[in-house]
Amino acid sequence: MTAPIIPDFAETDINAIADFEGRVALNIGADGKLNPSARRINRLTKGALGRFVESEAFGKMKQGEARDMAFPAGMAASAVQVVKLDRRASAEEARKAGAAIARGKAGKPLLVLLGNLKHAWETALGLTLRTYAFNQYKTSREKAGEGPVTIMLAKPEAARERVGELAALAEGVFFTRDLVSEPANVLTTVEFANRLKALEKLGVKVTVLEEKELEKLGMRTLLAVGEGSESPSKVVVMEWSGGGKEKPLALVGKGVVFDTGGISIKPAAGMEEMTMDMGGAGVVSGVMKTLALRKARANVVGVVGLVENMPDGRAQRPGDIVKTMKGDTVEVINTDAEGRLVLCDIMWYAQEKFDPVGMIDLATLTGAIIVGLGHENAGVFSNDDKLANAFLKSAAAEGEGAWRMPLGQAYDELLKSNLADMKNVGGRPAGSITAAQFLKRFVKDEMPWIHLDIAGVALVKKDTAVAPKGATGWGVLALNRLIADRFEG
């Protein structure tokens, strides 16, 4: 597990600035006024800070942007990083500013001087999330995330009270990022299940269902996906019971640890990225860890289906007909549309077993959602406006892009099969929508439900606001906020 660096919050001590060895960062508003810490640095550097603040370069900086003053005279620091950030900047701007500070950290000790910044805790969260680096397999490891961080504030008490929350969020996001980043020869279905079993140390009840039990339950579509793999298919159930006798919210995740496409094999170019096809299960796992760490006053059950989709003499074929746990039959047209076959069984299981108050599934389900929304937004499909709007509000508050997509009977009719109750694909048009329509067939009447297609946001090729390129951990923050706002007593 990549361990997040949790800042130490301290009261501002301007006498400690001159002798601090490492990097010093401070915020200055667009008006250019210097707070006591900035004035001390300006005196130490013989007016260099003031000259920079009055320069055209500072004037052109946007809120949350940062610039370095390297090897400042009169200070032991290797650099002073000036962050343009108004004292009453928004929470989103403050979080982005924290990420900007983290990008320049380079493994050195860091002193951050925030004075009386309104959203200092958000800056700390952005900084912590951005220090993530998955370098377990590099012989010469990057040190971006190493070195202690001290954040000095005029009144640090409120931030100190939320250190536990900050740590819980960061550990949940980092857990998801680690899972998504791991290669498939390491994160097998067995290893994935073992890592989730370790959540029992935090008070999560974890049950691992093996293939014989899945067969008895009738999860034949899930099992069919993994028939070509040497790794056994598993379903892992995680229960967090912090809300008394209330019915739980169900989070359901697709956990395809590697997806070749099966017999409908994918092109070789880019196939290495299919280690991230367990991203939905990764987010569910990260949320469950965050809830346990912060002792959430809610009941939440996470159900993830862990399989590997490989071509083999035993693998399912195009044209096969399989029976779901619900009892419906599916004609498999394309074995690369396997995620919905995993999800339909575990969605039905979650409803039958736990009778939840609502259900949210997450999956790197379709390339079509990337065509529609790019890498900026996840696709949100829902049968319940109140739940969907609540999630969209939570995602917006956390800066995690999400966009509501349509459902409708015309799309559902594209799934009609001549041989079975349905096909597993509806053709190229509206591919992400027909995938959602397939899943909707396994949602019970009156069950509030959201399907999140995260194929475009789980793994990205450029930095995001609070993550380096690679696994983002998208969804952990938004779902945690949704649970806190809507389901905690």
Task: Give me the tens of pLDDT residue by residue for the chain, a chain 489 residues long.
Answer: 899 999 999 999 999 999 999 999 999 999 999 999 999 999 999 999 999 999 999 999 999 999 999 999 999 999 999 999 999 999 999 999 999 999 988 788 999 999 999 999 999 999 999 999 999 999 876 554 578 999 999 999 999 999 999 999 999 999 999 999 999 999 999 999 999 999 999 999 999 999 999 999 999 999 999 999 999 999 999 999 999 899 999 999 999 999 999 999 999 999 999 999 999 999 999 999 999 999 999 999 999 999 999 999 999 999 999 999 999 999 999 999 999 999 999 999 999 999 999 999 999 999 999 999 999 999 999 999 999 999 999 999 999 999 999 999 999 999 999 999 999 999 999 999 999 999 999 999 999 999 999 999 999 999 998 999 999 999 999 999 999 999 997
- CATH number assigned to the domain comprising residue 38: 3.40.220.10
Pair 152, 173 in one domain:
no
**302: which strand partners?**
238, 251
pLDDT attached to residue 147: 85
How many C-beta atoms surround the C-beta of residue 467 within 10 A?
18
Domain boundary among 108, 143, 161: 161
Pair 181, 150 in one domain:
no
pLDDT attached to residue 489: 74
Say which DSSP state 392 is in: H
Pair 413, 448 in one domain:
yes
Domain boundary among 111, 129, 161: 161
Pair 297, 331 in one domain:
yes
Q: Which domain holds residue 477?
A: 167-487
Pair 315, 188 in one domain:
yes
Pair 296, 411 in one domain:
yes
Pair 273, 140 in one domain:
no
Pair 88, 197 in one domain:
no
Is residue 454 a contact partner of residue 378, using CB atoms and an 8 Å limit? yes
Residues 31, 33, 38, 43, Cα dihedral to 10°: 120
Domain boundary among 106, 132, 161: 161
| Residues known to be catalytic | 266, 340
Pair 111, 180 in one domain:
no
Round to whole Å and give the CA distance between 49 and 45: 7
Beta strands at 234-241 and 299-309: parallel, antiparallel or unpaired: antiparallel
Q: Output the six-digit token pair for 252.
A: 């359901």
How many C-beta atoms surround the C-beta of residue 391 within 10 A?
25
Residue 52's nearest CA partner among 24, 94, 81 is 81
Round to whole Å and give the CA distance between 413 and 15: 71
Question: Is 323 within a domain?
Answer: yes
In the chain, the number of structural domains is 2
Give 212: exposed, middle or buried? Use CB within 10 Å, 0-12, 13-18, 19+.
Answer: exposed
Residue 428's nearest CA partner among 363, 350, 336, 351 is 336
pLDDT attached to residue 146: 73
pLDDT attached to residue 193: 98
Question: Is 16 within a domain?
Answer: yes
SS3 170: helix
Question: Is 461 within a domain?
Answer: yes
Amino acid letter for position 305:
G
SS3 421: coil
Pair 136, 180 in one domain:
no
Pair 252, 151 in one domain:
no
Pair 157, 213 in one domain:
no
pLDDT attached to residue 145: 54
pLDDT attached to residue 143: 54
Question: Is 144 within a domain?
Answer: yes
Question: Is 2 within a domain?
Answer: no
For 20: left if phi > 0, alpha if psi spans -120 to 50, otherwise beta; the answer is beta
Question: Is 249 within a domain?
Answer: yes
SS3 78: coil
- CATH number assigned to the domain comprising residue 206: 3.40.630.10
Question: Is 3 within a domain?
Answer: no
Sheet with 402-404, edge to edge strand ranges? 205-209, 234-241, 299-309, 249-259, 358-363, 449-453, 378-382, 402-404
pLDDT attached to residue 158: 94
Round to whole Å and give the CA distance between 484 and 489: 9
Question: Is 1 within a domain?
Answer: no
